[in-house]
Structure 1
């Protein structure tokens, strides 16, 4: 086998397993060997050799007996280190939580995919407490972007390890969370697919929170089809029901305010090329202004960020005690900003949010929204570690485009659309208003090959 199992799409690997061309035990052993041999050991925080072996043996037995659980049976998956895994302490990228009791049970989404036959390989590194779009972690190391050929570059966050392990070909899929862009950003910067579901599509129990009114989750994987399969598995379906939509039926709106401000020329050029290809294949493209984007930034400037206010409430006791000295100083600074958000301000944000969601739902309707996932390619790590002011400025710019989707309760898929500066990946973000996940995934299925430039 010339191609490693971890570098395959779920669909490719599933075909081999279901036809018994390869055995799940062989797959699991090869994937773990590849992880242990990988030069950057900061990508994972834990490998579950015993659990993975047990689950692979169970899958192998099912295959031999002709009673497969379905298309995901035997497929390896990695979990961002804020999903509860039975018998393990959930660290959320922090040494503070490493002293907490071990989880008594798997998070429901972990348990659901185990029932679907998936093999849990390990936990991936992340920004501490999921509170950064860059992916730096002073405790467990910062995973390096595997697409960089010059200097070590950021992986994107907060699902940093999840993006790296898929892009590096170590596993076919990793599960992340997304509060302000934490699935779509690392997907974009590492050149893979990242699907952020509408908040509430999957249960969030057993997933360490950041801001419960914004938290969502989704997979980082190789193709949109893989995301569709994982989505079906997480909803307990034996097979996906989502089908590609004809490109000529797609109405795509592109905002001409905010999302291109300060964007790198290479990012804009790559994105616009993909737009031209979509139009040539029959998609309807319209440029519009989305006033809510300006209003959201104005709300943040006036009252502070919603995520910061909720993160402060979650961590206020830690910040008031000795634990603060053990946390990433940049996480401490950002989280403490939430103390300035009064109850009146918080309620004003929630009231404005409800209104803006309704306004944008009316404006966008059944159309899809497209713009660059991130306005720049992955920057070098070293300057960000050395300069906190640069870190905060870059973090804000990195999160800017994706945070709109969280505030407005959208679903979104980041699809690779080429490269920009330093030959680093660029992401094309296709979004839809909340609860239109099936329509979005169907649109992304048909648009993916065009966006990637793989059509003829």
Structure 2
């Protein structure tokens, strides 16, 4: 059986061979990773384990603090930031669980935008076709798992930033209920919407990483019968403009799930989506809270080396008066309760994670209108889980040339049950 150190060396040598053109990783911790791999191998020999993540090769998004270094969050502006004093909470929990932390992955600047491009550090090519976008903001995370340079990668999800790259790179991505996993030591975008979640090859790996990060004892996911399970399909706005191939793959998945005896029914949420849109018409919660995070440099009005796709929306949102934000947040609280009530009649919602597959990097750079439209589509379905404080997971849909995900969404706090359902769906789709 291959040792963890041997597995690590294969990955490191693969990364060394492309070092001149590295866009997936921002930083590698080769020596620390070797030491962690050796320690895990020694424990394995002695018949001791720290749990299911012991010896698993993990990468972390470039917005998590690692002691004694600046957290750059995909930005040139933060290269000279004060070094972190301690590891982010999730980083120290992963280390304690025996994870081998390989490095920090690339991301969109300040975790804003869903395309996955970064004008400062380059855009990681999609794991399936390097000429295509990776999806963002956890771009490097999606590519790293998709190409096999990490077994698990930790991202953040404010409007879909874990699930969009998972969908476009053909891997699993889990967004937990917000605040289930501590945000301490994660560079913020939106204190209300930010959540920290894993990308991996399997639901079980995501569940193991989630448990460790949430401070729970990892436990195997007990199988859940799909027969009789109530699955709601939120047809309407969330199904518009869906690519033919994505819709066909979704219908195939639904057909397979239906054959198990699951109870599949249409459920309408369009009225709640319209009310949320109206409540956030002046500015999205992510942009308004992001505007506050970056208020100091935005207020100077001086030219800064920030991607205009990031600085533009942030500066517009920063100028929105406080009463507008407070009203939006009050309305959101009521709408979250209304959505929770609406979802009480089903176990999960099922819909395509992204209505489109990954377009080319060149097309996004050359056509501003197409880029805006694509970004809107990429975020449309995923952001619902953040806006309404739900948990959600994206699973790869089989038989697709370019990947897209099947998204399952559950009520606030139903994370473990969602993971159990997702594991059963995964087994069914893999069969």
TM-score range, shorter chain: over 0.9
Q: Which runs of no fewer than 5 residues in structure 2 stay unpaired?
A: none
Tell me the TM-score normalized by structure 1: 0.90
3-state secondary structure, aligned to 1:195 = strand
Q: CA deviation at 1:390?
A: 2.9
Q: Does 1:368 align with 2:348?
A: yes
Q: For residue 359 of structure 2, what is the aligned residue in structure 1?
A: 379
Q: CA deviation at 1:163?
A: 0.1
Deviations 1:144-173 (A, max 9, x none): 00212xx71100000000000110111111
Deviations 1:318-373 (A, max 9, x none): 22347752111111112112034321111111111111111111111152011110
Residues in 2 aligned to 1:304 and 1:412: alpha-carbon distance in whole angstroms: 24
Q: For residue 375 of structure 2, what is the aligned residue in structure 1?
A: 395
Q: CA distance change for structure 1 residues 324 and 407 in 2, over 3 Å: closer, same or farther?
A: farther
Q: CA distance change for structure 1 residues 25 and 323 in 2, over 3 Å: closer, same or farther?
A: farther
Residues in 2 aligned to 1:193 and 1:101: alpha-carbon distance in whole angstroms: 34
3-state secondary structure, aligned to 1:247 = coil
Q: For residue 408 of structure 2, what is the aligned residue in structure 1?
A: 430
Conserved 8 A contact 2:204-2:221: no
Q: For residue 279 of structure 1, what is the aligned residue in structure 2?
A: 258
Q: CA deviation at 1:239?
A: 3.4
CA RMSD of aligned residues (A): 1.6
Q: For residue 408 of structure 1, what is the aligned residue in structure 2?
A: 388
Q: Does 1:270 align with 2:249?
A: yes
Deviations 1:89-137 (A, max 9, x none): 2110001011112222111111011001001000000000000111000
Q: Does 1:144 align with 2:125?
A: yes
Aligned length: 428
Q: For residue 418 of structure 2, what is the aligned residue in structure 1?
A: 440
Q: CA deviation at 1:64?
A: 2.8
3-state secondary structure, aligned to 1:69 = coil
3-state secondary structure, aligned to 1:370 = strand
3-state secondary structure, aligned to 2:7 = helix
After the TM superposition, list the runs of 4 or more consecutive aligned residues in structure 1 that deviate by more than 6 angstroms. Answer: none
Relative to structure 2, which stretch is displaced further, 342-351 or 37-46? 37-46
Tell me the TM-score normalized by structure 2: 0.95
Q: CA deviation at 1:419?
A: 5.4
Q: CA distance change for structure 1 residues 66 and 324 in 2, over 3 Å: closer, same or farther?
A: farther
3-state secondary structure, aligned to 1:303 = coil
Q: CA deviation at 1:71?
A: 1.9
Residues in 1 aligned to 2:399 and 2:110: alpha-carbon distance in whole angstroms: 30
Q: CA deviation at 1:255?
A: 0.6
Q: CA deviation at 1:241?
A: 4.7
Q: Does 1:169 align with 2:148?
A: yes
Residues in 1 aligned to 2:278 and 2:247: alpha-carbon distance in whole angstroms: 25
Q: For residue 4 of structure 1, what is the aligned residue in structure 2?
A: none
Conserved 8 A contact 1:47-1:122: yes
Q: CA distance change for structure 1 residues 324 and 372 in 2, over 3 Å: closer, same or farther?
A: farther
Residues in 1 aligned to 2:143 and 2:303: alpha-carbon distance in whole angstroms: 28
The equivalences for 1:124-135 within 5 A come to 124-135=105-116
Deviations 1:166-221 (A, max 9, x none): 10111111000000000000000001000001101111000001011000011000
Q: CA distance change for structure 1 residues 238 and 65 in 2, over 3 Å: closer, same or farther?
A: farther
Relative to structure 2, which stretch is displaced further, 35-44 or 168-177? 35-44
3-state secondary structure, aligned to 1:413 = strand
Relative to structure 2, which stretch is displaced further, 32-41 or 128-137? 32-41
Q: For residue 191 of structure 1, what is the aligned residue in structure 2?
A: 170
Conserved 8 A contact 2:233-2:266: yes
Q: Does 1:306 align with 2:285?
A: yes
Q: CA deviation at 1:83?
A: 0.5
Conserved 8 A contact 1:126-1:158: yes
Residues in 2 aligned to 1:183 and 1:409: alpha-carbon distance in whole angstroms: 15
Residues in 1 aligned to 2:254 and 2:316: alpha-carbon distance in whole angstroms: 39
Conserved 8 A contact 1:414-1:430: yes
3-state secondary structure, aligned to 1:435 = coil
Residues in 2 aligned to 1:440 and 1:196: alpha-carbon distance in whole angstroms: 11
Q: CA deviation at 1:253?
A: 0.2
3-state secondary structure, aligned to 1:77 = strand
